[in-house]
A and B are shown apart, each in its own frame.
Chain A
Amino acid sequence: MARLTAAIGSSHVPLLGVGIDQGKMDDPYFKPIYDGYNWTKEWISSPENKPDVVFLVYNDHASAFDMNLIPTFAIGCADEFAPADEGWGPRPVPNVQNDADLAWHIAQSLILDEFDMTIINKMDVDHGLTVPLSLMFGQPDKWPCKIIPFAVNVVTYPPPSGNRCYQLGKALRRAINSYEEKDLKVQVWGTGGMSHQLQGPRAGLINAEWDQQFMDDLTRDHDRLISIPHIEYLRETGSEGIEMVMWLIMAGALGKNPRELHRHYHVPASNTAVGHIVLEPAN
């Protein structure tokens, strides 16, 4: 049987991939950012915590999807995905190996549960997916687990509501729990955010208080989190802060009252507030 063992939330700022790829881990600008991931790197490398599969929720940033296709929820079901060339060559990181059997199971289960998925076989994965892997696993020759890419549209409005993401997370948990073919430890990662605005005269907006409250309520108040409208993300966390709805898929999969194991928050990485949290489900 497959079971959800833990969940990880993390920003996926492209600069953090650049810092790792160029060996700038100890640079004074980067060090306090990466140091906040040391706890997680150690925790995830111990055999009891190491996942067999990560269900990785992220968004594509005009890499695999241009304006021709804008899937709201897309699940990667092929055996392998390569890192995308985002304009300066692909990141020097391993290809992502999928557990395609579990991915197809989840896709079917979600659709039968009335969450209509777009299924993707051919897709390159951009920094949204590869940066969190580098933050958690460093620079291995191959990633230590299988990864199911799950892309959410948070670029063209309207993205899915926070509540829709949360309900999808609950359906994802049911899908994981109903997989009987193999014994698997599964983690769900919600990535993106936290507060940032990359455009217009208001660019550079950061709201640390709001971000910390959001992380607080991942263990305390899911009802508040799922009722946050898009306009609040826009006003309070900048135009790109909307990425945080992806963390609510993770929250839905965890269920209420998860336990917080670790947290890290740092401003800035490039234009962005970096947030990171490790959570364990209550049951």
Chain B
Amino acid sequence: MTSVHDYLEEFDDIPGTRVYTTKRARQGYWLNQFAMSLMVEENRTRWKADEKKYLEDWPMSAEQKQAVLDRDYNRLLDLGGNIYFLAKIFSTDGLSFVHAVSTMTGMSVTEYQDMMMNGGRSPVGVRSIKEGN
């Protein structure tokens, strides 16, 4: 049988990647549920009218709330956000997946789009931190 510890340990060895583990799911429960609430038109209207006020209703950490207001998606991943839930936030902002995802890479949208049009990011060198391959 697979050891949970061994299984999880390997995830931290992948460069630039936050695997959505149960630990993150627990930490990000309210953050993700807040994001999910933006699936409803009426909520989107309230959210757009006053983001800070909307967040008052959700028992999220101060850090999570700030990262949402900053649209700092890498930080949100660290604080337990899942990309499919966070997508509700950037979709409400009118951003495409490509646009929002590019903000996590340190590249401009155009640079990121060019990379995708040229076959995407190669796995070479970003498979493992330890192995450097």
Which residue of chain A has its CB nearest to the CB of B38?
A87
Q: Which residues of B contact A195 (CB under 8 A)?
A: 120
For the complex, what is the distance from the CA of A206 to the CA of B15, rounded to whole Å?
15
Q: Which of B58-91 contact A (CB under 8 A)?
A: 73-74, 77, 82-85, 87-88, 91
When the two chains form their complex, are residues B127 and A156 in contact, meaning their CB atoms are under 8 A apart? no
The contact size tier of chain A is 35 or more
Known A-B contacts A67-B29, A206-B121; the reply to A201 vs B101 at CB < 8 A is no
Inter-chain CA distance A248–B35, complex, in Å, is 31
Interface of A is mostly: loop
A16: interface (CB < 8 Å): no
Chain A proximity mask over B9-27: 1 for CB below 8 Å, otherwise 0: 0110011111111100100
Question: What residues of A have a CB within 8 angstroms of the CB of B29 in the complex?
Answer: 67
Residues of B within 8 A of A271 (CB): 97-98, 101, 116, 120
Q: In the complex the two chains form, what is the Cα distance from A239 to B127 in whole Å?
A: 11
Question: B37 to chain A: closest CB distance in Å?
Answer: 9
A264 within 8 A of B: no
Number of A-B residue pairs with CB-CB distance less than 8 Å in the complex they form:
149
Name the A residues within 8 Å of B102 (CB-CB): 203-204
Within 8 A of A (CB), among B89-133: 91-92, 96-98, 101-102, 104-106, 112, 115-117, 119-123, 126-128
Q: 0/1 per residue, A53-89, Cβ < 8 Å to B?
A: 0000000011100111000000000000000011110
A197: chain B residues within 8 A (beta carbon): 17, 121
Q: Are B101 and A204 in contact (CB under 8 A)?
A: yes
Nearest-Cβ distance from residue B1 to partner chain A, whole angstroms: 11
Q: A23 CA to B101 CA in the complex, in Å?
A: 25
